[in-house]
Amino acid sequence: MEFEYTSENQQVLQMVKEFVRKEVSPQIKYYEKNQLFPKDIFEKMGNLGFFGACFPEQYGGSELGFLNLAIIAEEISKVHPSLGYAFNMQAMTCPFTILNWGNKQQIEKYVPSLIKAEKIGMFALTESGGGSDPAGAMKTTAVLDGDEYVLNGSKMWITFANEADVGVLFAKTDPEAGHNGISAFIIETNLPGFYAKPIEISSLGFMTRSCEVFLEDYRIPKNQLLGKEGEGFKIAMNALDYGRLTVSSRLVGIAQGCIDESISYANEREVSGVAIGQYQMIQHLIADMVVETEAARLLTYKSAYLKDKGEAATRQSAYAKYFASEVATKAARSALEIFGGNGIADEYPIMKYVNYANMLHFGEGSANIQRILIANDALGEKDANRHHIERKFSLSSDIHKVRL
């Protein structure tokens, strides 16, 4: 097996590095300190085509492909993990779900403005008490009343909901039909009956927020139905498959950030006149971090490679998400061991890596859920790729920028 970056991959990586250096790092602390949503940074990322990597040019996409999207999300998250959320809300689970399942009018209305970050997106599936079974525990309902659906219920852990303009939201149109009674809707948050309340998570800061969402007699035109009634569960599973690519990439970025910070610190910090990087225990921690992160990266890139080919990749996405979450949480813990007491100081980013690695351990399906999916697939009980659908659109860059 062989892997190498193409010149295009290298150009994309250098562009992201330069963007982070010039546009993000000088400003990000201001947004964090003042608890401000970094809308203008997102718009700059959108204008550079970061969020539109997997979208056709006719809808404003940059057609860079899934591998380049993984490279971008990794590099951004390596330096500023709080910005990594945007690759789900502005690239995958919100606009890409609309691209995959929406009609021409829906795609034209919402996709271009989302991938440019002119509008902020969200993906509302999980409910309080739902945990890893959001569909089975779903209580939010959508009742057709003439030419409108009336939605009532609530959602939990919905990223960007307090800032979002548009979202993909799931509700039961037939409460007696189980998973087959779930439908998907495109909602606009400026309509009466929608309310978002940020959840207090001090460990992740207050720049980008996860929220509770409340729907009270919230009315939308029936043409806001995404796909058909009863297709919601299939749509959600398909959306999470793509979301896992960016989550895995973000986790790899966090792990690489831990490596970079640990190597720098281990070469500078001295004990008894000797750099701590000369001690075997520190070397063992760094060696494990380096090898495991590279393995997680290759699993993630293979997922992107399959997606660039238009092939089913749910199985590979589960592998990547599961392993990358384990690697990132271990790397963050190892970095904390290397930094010792200094690791908890705001001067260093280690606790930020720890907190975001822990958070992403659960996002887009917890490690244990991935284990179940992987085991059921391996045992022949449930084909992991069963929810795959053919993409509506192919990209001119679908020429496979990686050899695996």
* pLDDT in the model for residue 106: 97
pLDDT tens for each residue of 211-224: 999 999 999 999 99
Identify the helix (H) or strand (E) that includes residue 234. helix 232-268
Least confident interval from 69-73, 175-179, 379-383, 397-401: 397-401
Identify the helix (H) or strand (E) that includes residue 325. helix 314-339
Average pLDDT, integer, range 252-267:
98
pLDDT at 129 over 50: yes
pLDDT at 154 over 90: yes
Average pLDDT, integer, range 149-169:
97
Query: What SS3 class is residue 195?
Result: strand
Rounded to the nearest integer, the mean pLDDT of the chain is: 92
Rounded Cα–Cα distance for residues 385 and 388 (Å): 6
pLDDT tens for each residue of 309-342: 888 888 999 999 999 999 999 999 999 999 999 9
* pLDDT in the model for residue 366: 84
* pLDDT in the model for residue 5: 86
4 against 274, higher pLDDT: 274
* Contact present, 163 and 126 (Cβ < 8 Å): no
* pLDDT in the model for residue 108: 97
**DSSP code for 24:** I
* Contact present, 251 and 324 (Cβ < 8 Å): yes
Average pLDDT, integer, range 202-229:
95
Q: Which of 114-118, 129-133, 380-384 has the highest mean pLDDT?
A: 114-118
* pLDDT in the model for residue 404: 37
Question: What separation in angstroms does the CA of 142 have from each of 127, 177, 216, 229, 237?
Answer: 15, 13, 11, 10, 20
Average pLDDT, integer, range 35-48:
96
Q: One of 2, 364, 381, 390 is an active-site residue; which one?
A: 364
pLDDT tens for each residue of 334-377: 999 999 999 999 999 999 999 999 999 887 778 888 999 999 99
The band of 9, judged by pLDDT with boundaries at 50, 70 and 90, is very high
* Contact present, 26 and 79 (Cβ < 8 Å): no
pLDDT at 403 over 50: no
The band of 235, judged by pLDDT with boundaries at 50, 70 and 90, is very high
Mark whether 32 is an active-site residue: no
pLDDT at 289 over 80: yes
The band of 396, judged by pLDDT with boundaries at 50, 70 and 90, is low
